Chain A
Amino acid sequence: EVQLVESGGGLVKPGGSLRLSCAASGFTFSSYSMNWVRQTPGEGLEWVSSISSSSSYIYYADSVKGRFTISRDNAKNSLYLQMNSLRAEDTAVYYCARNSGNYLYYGMDVWGQGTTVTVSS
């Protein structure tokens, strides 16, 4: 079964850091571009970051540029998001999502269940 499972969410104080992980299974992880997409409570979806299969192409939303770092370990079938200098507005459910091809313009055809990040003092 094709599956993505996120972990690492939690409660963190403003200015703090958190590292999210996404474990992939059931497909050849190293062949696909991957993304982080977040959703604030009761709000819409916001694309956060994308990384190509070999990590050659990495892109960020303006709202997280300079604070978040996306990475992947193809040997471990894992995607990561290092989040630093966290703000209240980063509070959201964070989804890991696979592109159906090896670039960010492909539709996201596999999604994890999400992990919740809450930034609050």
Chain B
Amino acid sequence: GAVVSQHPSWVICKSGTSVKIECRSLDFQATTMFWYRQFPKQSLMLMATSNEGSKATYEQGVEKDKFLINHASLTLSTLTVTSAHPEDSSFYICSLVARSSYNEQFFGPGTRLTVL
């Protein structure tokens, strides 16, 4: 399967600051990447779909101006949490889809964000 990396693996920031999370495909090109978040003891929730070269599409209830997504290349997507607040503390996970008909997704290891 595909190898997906995320950076940083964890980050602690002060309330009001912005945090950028990178998601990289290490061994093949991904035209579509997804961003999920997971609160403690809950399941993953899809936040947005990131398409290379076009604007991301966001799920209902996810603020596009707060969670900025940039899919600059076929191997890199970034999620920026702007003006982070404690309620944004979560586990953020990206995934990418291989050129396959079956929608198998390969997930990154996740980034733990803690906002103080």
Do A and B come from the same complex? no
Residues of A within 8 A of B (CB): none
Residues of B within 8 A of A (CB): none
